[in-house]
Amino acid sequence: MPAARRDSGLAAVHEGMSDHARESAEDWALPERSRPPLLGELVERIDEALAIARASEAAVMTVGAAALDAAEQAKRAAELAERASRAMNGNGRAPSPFPDDGDMGDFTARADRVAERLQRLQRLPLSA
């Protein structure tokens, strides 16, 4: 069908329609709240999401590094506690902080003797 004849046929259809029956572009427009975001808005949202993701990644890396450091410190503390426990039980030798005593066992024995003396002194009557 030639274009001129087709256009004249559409014009005839529209002439017979009332203004109310004709559709316009506004009939097809979505309400403001239902419209999808524009491309520029989507780009802004993507940029914001990327910035948040990068900041989150940096925060997780920082927390992870702190957790690894804390785990290493806990491991060192546990090793020191084990060494101290072995030294206290006589299973290992640790340098004594008291040069006159050979090891921690000697220190504990002396502390027990001092405690006994103090208890005996408490039982003595006070002189006038």
Structural domain contains residue 97: yes
- Distance separating alpha carbons of residues 88 and 90, to the nearest angstrom: 6
Q: Which domain holds residue 43?
A: 35-113
The answer on pLDDT for 105 being more than 90 is: no
> Residues with Cβ < 8 Å from 87, sequence gap 6 or more?
93, 94, 103, 104
Q: State mean pLDDT over 108-127.
A: 75
Average the pLDDT over each of 32-41, 57-66, 117-126 and give the range with the smallest value. Answer: 117-126
Structural domain contains residue 57: yes
Structural domain contains residue 12: no
Structural domain contains residue 77: yes
Structural domain contains residue 105: yes
The answer on pLDDT for 111 being more than 70 is: yes
Structural domain contains residue 30: no
What is the tally of structural domains in the chain?
Answer: 1
